[in-house]
Every structure is written in C-alpha cells, then in structure tokens.
C-alpha cells in the first residue's frame, strides 16, 4: 500500500488490489476515512498510518456500495459508516452482498482474513448536501452511472475531489448492472466544474491526479461514453481487463436486434 499526503489534512492510501484508493481527511482534531484498501495487511496497518499522520479517525464514508470500497470497518471497527441515500438504499436492497463478494475475492486469491465484514449501522446522508467534519464540511455531490448509487466528496479547504469510480487513469468508464450511460455522462458533467477547481482528484482506482490530468480524462471518458457501443478504448487503457469491461459496456448500450 502506498500513502501520499496531498495537503496537511488529506492523505491518500492506495491498495495493491485494483489500486483502490482510501482517503483520510481531517479537520479540527477529527478525521474521516473515505473508501478503503482491500488486502488484510493494508487494513491492519491503516490505523497506524492515520495515527502517525495525526489523523484521529472518527467516521467512515463510502463513495458507493461496491464491496471493494466498503471495508473501512475492518480497519476501524468502532467507527460508523456514512453513505449517500442512494447507497444506503442499495445496501438495504442487497443485504450481505458486500460480505459475500469479499469472500469470493478472498477465495479466488487465497486471501486469509481475520474477520468477516459487518457494515454495522449505516447512516444515510442527504446528497447533494454537506457533512460536517471538525471546523469544516465536506460537500457531497451525487455520482451515479457507474452504479445506481454514489457520491463524490469535495474537500473545499484543500481543493481535493474524491470522486469514487470515475476519472480513473487505469479503468475505463464501467457501466455496472445498475449503472447507466446517461447517468454516467450527467455525473461527469456535474463533476466538471469541481475538477476544474481541483488541485488534486482522487479516483476510486489508480493514482491521484492533478486537476489538469483529471480534466483530460474527463474529456476522454465523455467521448468514449458518447460513442458507445462503437467507441474505441482510450489509448492508455487497453489492457485485457479493460477490453473485458468494454465488451460489457457494448452489450449494455447495444439495442437488441429487431425481430419479426
């Protein structure tokens, strides 16, 4: 796991699995942990990473309900999890899904984990809205389209955008079963002014981006989505894994052939 400081109040840790990012944000003596690393050793060391940086984690946030972003409680078992109302609805509609998918990942990769995932009490946050932290607040923006749910967090005093599974330098836009191309495009347009104002953008997967680089990915992704199902893969994201995501995107955006 890599950890980088973006601001005195913002540290980002990146998992060795899927390059999933975890953002620690602090104000006035309290800190939140947004999303999570994936592997057991990373989750075990995360409290020490936070401690050493002087971040006292009192709460967890998740950008969306996909299992690989929901593991914060394995690092901070006493903290409660706050999510967008859309994410709370998805978690309630799919009870146990995250824990089951985590088990499937662990089985596939021969990962031993000391304890199973229990999300505990989940707090639904109004989005768009604000979430108080210390003397500051996070601005929460809807971010759906990759999935049916989600939010992005704008850390205004640090000019950092934590956007969930959008604007990734390693993953093309992924239309999951609950996702939609139109919603995805609307989310990118909503995020655009924040990206333009951002010093750094933290994507759900991959390296932290400077604002200008994130803006370039945003344009590339809008272009890709607009051209689906006939889109070409962006130049830097053409690995076999990305081609597999692309094939699913094509299926989801192709109209069924007319019959009769």
Nearer to Zn ion, 169 or 204 (CB): 204
Nearer to Zn ion, 7 or 100 (CB): 100
Binding to Zn ion (CB under 5 A) within 207-226 occurs at none
Q: Token match 């989005």: residue?
A: 127
- Answer for the pair 152, 163: CB distance below 8 angstroms, yes or no: yes
Q: Does the protein bind Zn ion through residue 178 (CB under 5 A)?
A: no
Output the smallest distance, CB 60 to Zn ion, in A: 16
State how far the Cα of 50 lies from the Cα of 41, in Å rounded to an integer.
Answer: 15
Tokens of 1: 């796991």
Q: Does the protein bind Zn ion through residue 165 (CB under 5 A)?
A: yes
Q: Which stretch binds Zn ion (CB under 5 A): 113-121, 157-165, 183-191, 225-233?
A: 157-165
Nearer to Zn ion, 9 or 165 (CB): 165
Exposed/middle/buried for residue 2 (C-beta within 10 Å: 0-12, 13-18, 19+):
middle
26 has which bridge partners? 31
Residue 164: closest CA among 23, 8, 41: 23
Nearer to Zn ion, 145 or 204 (CB): 204
State how far the Cα of 33 lies from the Cα of 119, in Å rounded to an integer.
Answer: 14
Nearer to Zn ion, 21 or 27 (CB): 21
Q: Does the protein bind Zn ion through residue 35 (CB under 5 A)?
A: no
- List own/partner pairs for 11-15 with CB under 8 A and 24 or more apart: 11/49, 11/50, 11/53, 11/55, 12/202, 12/208, 13/37, 13/42, 13/46, 13/49, 14/206, 14/207, 15/39, 15/42
What is the x/- site pattern for Zn ion, positions 185-204, by CB under 5 A? -------------------x
Tokens of 238: 């053409």
Binding to Zn ion (CB under 5 A) within 50-109 occurs at 66
Nearer to Zn ion, 70 or 133 (CB): 70
The three-state secondary structure class of 217 is helix
Output the smallest distance, CB 35 to Zn ion, in A: 8
Nearer to Zn ion, 9 or 149 (CB): 149
Output the smallest distance, CB 215 to Zn ion, in A: 21
State how far the Cα of 195 lies from the Cα of 189, in Å rounded to an integer.
Answer: 10
Output the smallest distance, CB 63 to Zn ion, in A: 8
Cis, bond preceding 222 (omega within 30 deg of 0): no
Output the smallest distance, CB 64 to Zn ion, in A: 7
Binding residues for Zn ion, rule: CB under 5 A, are 66, 165, 204
């Amino acid at each position: 796991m890599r950890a980088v400081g973006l601001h005195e109040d913002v540290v980002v840790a990146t998992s060795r699995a899927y390059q999933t990012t975890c953002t620690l944000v602090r104000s006035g003596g309290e800190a939140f942990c947004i999303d999570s690393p994936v592997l057991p050793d990373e989750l075990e060391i995360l409290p020490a990473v936070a401690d050493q940086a002087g971040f006292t984690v009192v709460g967890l946030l998740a950008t969306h309900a996909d299992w690989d972003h929901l593991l914060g409680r394995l690092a901070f078992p006493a903290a409660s999890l706050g999510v967008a109302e859309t994410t709370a609805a998805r978690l309630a509609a799919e009870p146990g899904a995250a824990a089951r998918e985590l088990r499937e990942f662990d089985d596939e990769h021969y990962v031993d984990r000391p304890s199973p995932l229990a999300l505990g009490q989940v707090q639904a946050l109004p989005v768009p809205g604000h979430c108080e932290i210390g003397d500051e607040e996070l601005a929460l923006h809807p971010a759906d389209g990759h999935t049916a749910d989600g939010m992005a967090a704008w850390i205004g005093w640090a000019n950092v955008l934590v956007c969930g599974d959008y604007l990734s330098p390693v993953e093309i836009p992924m239309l999951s079963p609950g996702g939609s191309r139109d919603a995805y495009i609307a989310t990118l347009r909503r995020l655009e002014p924040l990206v333009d104002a951002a010093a750094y953008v933290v994507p759900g997967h991959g390296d932290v981006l400077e604002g200008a680089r994130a803006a370039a990915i945003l344009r590339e992704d809008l272009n890709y989505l607009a051209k689906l199902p006939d889109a070409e893969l962006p130049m830097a994201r053409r690995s076999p894994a990305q081609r597999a995501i692309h094939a699913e995107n094509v299926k989801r955006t192709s109209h069924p052939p007319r019959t009769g």
